[in-house]
Structure 1
Amino acid sequence: MSPNALIPSHRKPRRSASSRALRAGVTGGFLTLAVTGATVPANAAEKPVSETQEMPTITTALATSAARSADTAEQVAFNYERQALQDSVFAKAAKAAEKDKAEAVKKAKAEAKKKAEEARKAKEAAQARASRSDERTTLSAPSTSTSTATGSTATLIAFLKAQLGKAYVLGSSGPSSYDCSGLTQAAFNQIGIDLPRVSQDQSTAGTQVGLSNLQVGDILYWGSAGSAYHVGVYIGDGKFIGAQNPSTGIVERPLSYDMPTGAVRVL
């Protein structure tokens, strides 16, 4: 055993764990710890009964870290908001583009339909012109069955030619002036055929015949059968005589001058 072992000043007193108390506080940016003991020897010079130790606080580091975390969270939220805004803009742009595309397709279809309709009408008009041209050619060609009038037909044609140059007067039946149906009625009276007075009735007075199969003496009409607004008489060689209007009076004209709608045969 050491000779100093029994000297009290050379032995450190033991502190009871149950008698210790810990006090903590922050003063002036430092963490202050106070430790007190119930039984501390008076000769413990290296450690007083009550001692304090000041340690650098971590408050600034925590504040800086918290600020950085807040900045990071704010930046993330901003990024999400910006991305959401961009997505919304892109979605609206895509929807608008889709709508524009649909409108363009609809417009293109309408234009195509319009052009097809115009082409169809033009084709029909061309066919109608060609048909009328063929009809005029057929009606204008001399025919022995229509160019030579005999008997009552000759009397009919002679009377009509004798009226050429006379005036057109609406409602007149001769002998100095006629309207269209008055002239045809007077002409057929010469050969004993009694026709109705007005053109509507004259257009249904006989047998309907095609314009490509006309004979001398056939009554031509303009308008529909039963609703005709004008009549004349076919005299052969693609010509007719009729009381046309107040300006021209009674004249002889080719069928191409004013193509009739139909014809009836009463002879």
Structure 2
Amino acid sequence: MNDTIQTLLDHRSIRSYTDKPLTNEQIQLIVQSAQAAATSSYVQAYTIIGIKDATKKEKLAELSGNQSYVAKNGHFFVFCLDLHRLELSAELEGATVEQIEQTLNSTEMFMIGVIDTALAAQNAAIAAESMGLGICYIGGLRNKLDDVSELLQTPNRVIPLFGLSVGHPANRSDLKPRLPLASVYHEDGYNQDKEQLFEQLRDYDQEISNYYSVRTNGARKDRWTEAMTKLLQNPKRLYIKRFLNDKKLPLD
């Protein structure tokens, strides 16, 4: 097993950091690593906003659901889907709005932006972890995107998708067991044998329940399927379609 694979398999979310900030060189290397990620048709449909201002970090922590590690870390990155740059490129080339609007508003272009951004972010995460740093993705930024967008001054067609806190770990959390390989890797087609899938989920439920029980000294014994069912029964962030429309992304 090489060092890259070991870094990948050793991933865990870090939510407690020392006060030591990242150096400018570390920040630059993380961003350059993000830019090295694969991108559909060379579109590079993302922008990364680094947050150094302590007041802005505190505000983002509040908007994300009062997550302290959004404010207290070595550096905070916000990964944004960015189709505004494409709009500017077309304007520079003399194209009219009518010529580009259907493509910019397409669900396919939105998916390209989301995928490009996610690939770049994962490259950044792996780069940071390879330096001995810890990371945690922050989906809570989407709790209040209107306020986040105003704070970061993002223009139309730019959507803050998630944050990434990075820093020197104050402590390391335990590795959380992932789904069994057979649940996520199917060969030559999707395995639709429901009984096999149920069996895999029951086994995973037991593993996760044991994990929580040991970690909390018996205070928690959550099953994975139980947690996912609660998630499905409590929809959230249903305003996002309206937000996308407001940001000139109606997704035709």
Shorter chain as denominator, the TM-score bin is: under 0.3
Q: Give the alignment's TM-score, normalised by structure 1.
A: 0.18
For CA contacts below 8 A with separation 6 or more, give which structure has more relative contact order.
Answer: 2
Q: Give the alignment's TM-score, normalised by structure 2.
A: 0.19
Hey, which of these two has a bigger chunk of helix by percent?
2
Hey, which of these two has a bigger chunk of strand by percent?
1
Larger Rg belongs to: 1
